[in-house]
Amino acid sequence: MDLGLLGGFDYLGQNYPELDFEIVKAVDNDPYCTQIYNNNFKHHCEIMDVRNMEIPKLPNFDILIGGFPCQSFSISAQNPPRLGYKDERGMLFFEMVKILQEKKPRYLIAENVKGLLSANRGKAFPMIIKEFERAGYHIKFKLFNASEFGVPQKRERVIIVGFREYSDYAHFSFPKPTTIFNKVPLRDVLNESDNSNERLFFSEKAVAGMMAVRDKMNKGRAQSLDEPCNTISSHLAKVSLNSTDPVLFINGRYRRFSSNECARIQSFPESFLWDSVSEAKQLKAIGNAVPPVLMWHIANALALTANRPIQSEIKRIESTSYEFPDGNWVQLSLFEPETLYISKQNNEYVLIGTCRKGIIGWIKQTSKYCYPISEEDILCHPELLNISRLVVRHKNSVIGYFEVSTVDVVVKPELNAYGYPTRTSRHKADTKYLLFSLEDTKLNVDSVDFNLFTPIIAKGVKK
């Protein structure tokens, strides 16, 4: 994460420029990771248990960055329920909260695995967000797939960004994908010389054991060289054919990745030094890392916000009572009155979206609007990711006319974490949604020429 924050490195022929940040303090309790870190950065990382840190003595800083264990939380039986922890690893999250409360930095960046969204049957994540909010921070979060940002790995991670100032929160936009349609294939980061390294190949006994259960256990997951790799993990040194670990199938034989290949899969530059520790320790550090290229995109987006002057107040959403002309909308189906209408006006895409009565309050409270979408929809209509303005309607009434600050593609657990009032289970957990972040517009909805709109992804309504 620190490498991505600082920038100033090259990866696969692309330069990631230096960003205007510096590290004033870094701590880790793993001496081997710390040794690797100190061989690559001018500032040194201290070997320390963060629970022993004297928070008041920390230097002043603007950003708190870190990660915390995901599966160590419990939900305390209180009214209302509160977030607790099953073991001492869960305490590390609360250490971050303590630092925020004491030092009050301008920003927070936290990273975690996708499973955080569903931990404790989906109850833990909303409480984690509430704890950050109680510390005085406005929170945005997103589930990222590193392969959409130039990383040859399908690594999904939750990024949480917190803002002390509401104006920073309102102006921040998560970075848009750079390689959603042209992902970097695994073959671009493999070493041809490793194909003759016998130490990397699995024994005949290991292959025979895997083949015996392959059909019913889905083991021996050889990676396609023409796609990004599946997620690599911290136990790379103990990769097994009888697990879900990604492996290679080269010239009729199975092998694991070399440490150099793993570092490239994680998007580390060639200049990064690893050989101060054993290969096993290298692989553990690499597998636990955040892809620097992904972090650079997030840090760059934050830098754009940080360079804006802090404003004391941002106007909140206000609704309008505008009524559509009679007969403008025709409902074709009683149960599927949903569609999106789109128009290009003054070189900007404007969208009309429907909502049900039960989420009107959610839209106004969270300044967000969502709509279920498929990957095919996005491929056929990429303009949906570039919407500038949004009209939200319920039946024939306009709920609001908004500026769109960001458009993201999210999954259902992310919506639930935003407090979205799920009505039924009609959409699966892996259903994708367009999530629009909204700001009030000074334009009058009366200026919208609804005759210019055409239906897109119609689900039961036509003009």
Query: 339-351, pLDDT tens digit by residue?
Result: 788 888 777 889 9
Q: Characterize 80-91 residue by residue with b for buried, 16 or more Cβ atoms within 10 angstroms of its Cβ, and e for exposed.
A: eeebbbeeeebe
Tokens of 287: 């597998």
- Among 71-80, 147-156, 198-207, 411-420, which is the least confidently predicted range? 71-80
Residue position matching structure tokens 């879900």: 244
Task: Estimate the crossing angle of helix 124-134 against helix 91-103, to 10 degrees.
Answer: 20
- Among 129-138, 315-324, 428-437, which is the least confidently predicted range? 315-324
What percent of the chain lies above the pLDDT cut of 90?
45
Residues 114-133, mean pLDDT to the nearest whole number: 84
Residue with the larger pLDDT of the pair 340 and 113: 113
Residues 160-174, mean pLDDT to the nearest whole number: 88
Instruction: Judge whether residue 143 has pLDDT over 80.
Output: yes
Cα angle 251, 147, 3; round to 5? 105
Residue with the larger pLDDT of the pair 332 and 31: 31
CA–CA gap between residue 37 and residue 19 (Å, rounded):
19
pLDDT at 24: 95
Instruction: Judge whether residue 313 has pLDDT over 70.
Output: no
Instruction: Judge whether residue 214 has pLDDT over 50.
Output: yes
Q: By three-state DSSP, how is residue 67 classified?
A: strand
Instruction: Judge whether residue 12 has pLDDT over 80.
Output: yes
* Averaged pLDDT score across all residues of the chain: 84
> pLDDT band at 336, cuts 50/70/90?
very low
Q: Which residues contact 309 (CB under 8 A, 6 or more apart)?
A: none
- Among 92-96, 319-323, 366-370, which is the least confidently predicted range? 319-323
pTM for the model stands at 0.72
Q: How far out from the chain centre does Cα 90 lie? A: 21
* Category of 457 on φ-ψ map: left (φ > 0), alpha (ψ -120 to 50) or beta: left
Residues 50-66, mean pLDDT to the nearest whole number: 94
Residue with the larger pLDDT of the pair 157 and 122: 157
Instruction: Judge whether residue 410 has pLDDT over 80.
Output: yes
pLDDT at 87: 77
pLDDT at 9: 97
Query: From residue 440, how far is each of 173, 318, 390, 397 by CA, in Å?
Result: 16, 7, 10, 17
Residue position matching structure tokens 């305390």: 76
SS (H, E, C) 141-192: EEEEEHHHHCCCECCEEEEEEEECCHHHHHHCCCCCCCCCCCCCCHHHHCCH
Residues 286-292, mean pLDDT to the nearest whole number: 95
- Among 19-23, 119-123, 335-339, which is the least confidently predicted range? 335-339
Residues 182-202, mean pLDDT to the nearest whole number: 94
Highest mean predicted confidence (pLDDT) among 159-168, 271-280, 347-356, 436-445: 271-280
Instruction: Judge whether residue 136 has pLDDT over 70.
Output: yes
β-strands 9-11, 73-76: how paired? unpaired
Instruction: Judge whether residue 462 has pLDDT over 50.
Output: no
Check if the beta carbon of residue 269 is closer than 8 Å to that of residue 11: yes
pLDDT at 429: 62
